[in-house]
């Protein structure tokens, strides 16, 4: 569930770019457009141009980013196995039932019992899951040179995250358990509705109350960077008068850029790592992010999540009833309305999550591809796009097989994105039937 919440909070597509500190000018001079990507319309071969861009990455760097990304496939499995082990331990040891009893002893009020149970559950699972969280979020990121934080500040942010989960998780779980208690047969549909309203609420407050807990946001002053972005925003009907910058370099070498906005809080944000990229790269990235905004991806995602959660909760209901009949007595659980059944619900959701991975990845990958196409048309920087895609390739495998891309990629691969950019470039070259120069007159 926390992953769903996290994903919702980050709905405003965080597109990450590895900017290379202090190497921006050098990049512009030393990395010219490959000759295969300079051919005239009749001689332009999209695949050859794509290959030429991909060949710019040295083999050792490619091997490193492949290893980082492929390690992520295994982490999906380890995350699942560790969560399953922890949840089964809570059930088998009777600890979950005892935590439920303790909450009932402290208060007679049902919603408060849920909160007290959930806080024990969250603390215990966070502590037991901590070693893998350190490996995944701290050690491994440093191993691949992607992290900039020492352990102290990193740990502090984990604690802030835990505190936020306590507050927002308590609210959501109490509402959901309340729905199960009152509407035992139809809770799944109300549960989906509650979750979507909750997600929209998080999305609304995230830029104002949550994001500033981790990073500092300031107005971008450099007109050389700001003015083209605002021009691009005006051209695409985005009501923004300021561009903000955020100190993402505090945590990581990846740069983020996003456009969020909900009910009039539209805001364009650039991560400070991205400021070191070339203007063409920045404009191409912002074109992509504005695509998410103009194509209403946030609203489509909320609708999608509503349907997905209704189906998920309906299935969860059946699986819960079945497994409670089999093991309920053994684990000291009184039924579906017993809050101590939460680890069982989490376990079933974790199994769903594994099965859902390729579908969820495909759903977001399609939206990312839409934003890419929008960005190419809006920013008209296909070579900037190709360069950004290569930088993203520092932590996302550049050239996977099609099945691998289908299963594991929540963004299109570097090859897919550069192919789209080169295809766009070819059809806008002088001599193309589209004749872009004439179209503007
Ligand atoms: Zn995106």
pLDDT at 436: 55
CA of 294 to the centre of ligand 1 (A): 12
pLDDT in tens, 320-355: 999 999 999 999 999 999 999 999 999 999 999 999
Is 343 in contact with 89 (CB distance < 8 Å)?
no
Of 391, 426, 105, nearest to 276 by C-alpha is: 391
CA of 138 to the centre of ligand 1 (A): 24
pLDDT in tens, 148-200: 899 999 999 999 999 999 999 999 999 999 999 999 889 999 999 999 999 98
CA of 214 to the centre of ligand 1 (A): 21
CA of 15 to the centre of ligand 1 (A): 5
Contacts of 402 (CB under 8 A, 6+ apart): none
CA of 66 to the centre of ligand 1 (A): 21
CA of 403 to the centre of ligand 1 (A): 21
Q: Which residue has the higher pLDDT, 382 or 184?
A: 382
Ion ligand 1, residues whose Cβ is below 5 A away: 13, 15, 368, 371
CA of 368 to the centre of ligand 1 (A): 5
CA of 285 to the centre of ligand 1 (A): 9
CA of 323 to the centre of ligand 1 (A): 39
pLDDT in tens, 30-88: 457 898 888 889 999 999 999 999 999 999 999 999 999 999 999 999 999 999 999 99
Mark 185-196 as b/e (b = at least 16 C-beta within 10 Å). Answer: eebbbbbbebbb
pTM comes to: 0.86
For the CA atoms of 157, 162, 166, 171, the dihedral, rounded to the nearest 10 degrees, stands at 70
CA of 361 to the centre of ligand 1 (A): 13
Tell me the helix, strand and coil percentages in the chain, rounded to 5. Answer: 70, 5, 25
């Amino acid at each position: 569930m926390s992953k769903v919440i996290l994903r919702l909070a980050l709905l405003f597509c965080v597109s990450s770019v590895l900017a290379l500190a202090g190497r921006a000018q050098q990049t512009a001079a030393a990395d010219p457009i490959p000759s295969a990507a300079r051919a005239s319309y009749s001689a332009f071969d999209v695949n050859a141009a794509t290959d030429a861009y991909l060949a710019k990455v040295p083999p050792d760097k490619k091997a490193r980013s492949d290893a980082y990304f492929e390690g992520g496939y295994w982490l999906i499995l380890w995350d699942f196995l560790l969560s399953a082990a922890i949840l089964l331990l809570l059930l088998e040891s009777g600890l979950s039932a005892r935590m439920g009893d303790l909450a009932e002893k402290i208060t007679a009020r049902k919603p408060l019992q849920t909160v007290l149970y959930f806080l024990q559950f969250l603390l215990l699972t966070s502590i037991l899951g901590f070693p893998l969280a350190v490996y995944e979020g701290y050690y491994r990121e440093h191993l691949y040179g992607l992290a900039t934080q020492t352990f102290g500040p990193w740990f502090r942010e984990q604690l802030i995250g835990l505190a936020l989960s306590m507050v927002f998780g308590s609210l959501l779980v109490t509402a959901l358990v309340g729905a199960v208690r009152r509407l035992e047969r139809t809770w799944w549909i109300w549960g989906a509705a509650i979750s979507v309203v909750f997600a929209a609420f998080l999305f609304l407050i995230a830029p104002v109350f949550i994001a500033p807990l981790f990073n500092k946001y300031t107005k971008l002053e450099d007109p050389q960077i700001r003015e083209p972005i605002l021009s691009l925003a005006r051209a695409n009907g985005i009501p923004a008068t300021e561009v903000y910058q955020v100190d993402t370099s505090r945590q990581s070498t990846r740069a983020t850029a996003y456009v969020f906005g909900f009910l009039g809080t539209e805001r364009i944000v650039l991560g400070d790592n991205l400021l070191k990229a070339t203007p063409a790269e920045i404009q191409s990235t912002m074109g992509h992010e504005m695509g998410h905004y103009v194509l209403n991806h946030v609203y489509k995602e909320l609708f999608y999540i509503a349907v997905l959660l209704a189906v998920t909760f309906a299935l969860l209901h059946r699986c819960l009833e079945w497994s409670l009949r089999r093991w309920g007595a053994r684990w000291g659980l009184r039924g579906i309305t017993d809050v101590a059944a939460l680890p069982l619900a989490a376990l079933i959701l974790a199994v769903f999550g594994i099965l859902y991975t390729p579908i969820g990845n495909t759903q977001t990958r399609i939206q990312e591809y839409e934003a890419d196409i929008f960005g190419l048309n809006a920013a008209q920087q296909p070579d900037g796009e190709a360069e950004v895609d290569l930088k993203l390739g520092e932590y996302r495998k550049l050239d996977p097989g099609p099945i691998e891309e289908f299963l594991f990629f929540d963004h299109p691969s570097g090859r897919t994105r550069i192919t789209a950019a080169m295809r766009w470039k070819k059809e806008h070259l002088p001599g193309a039937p589209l004749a872009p120069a004439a179209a503007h007159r």
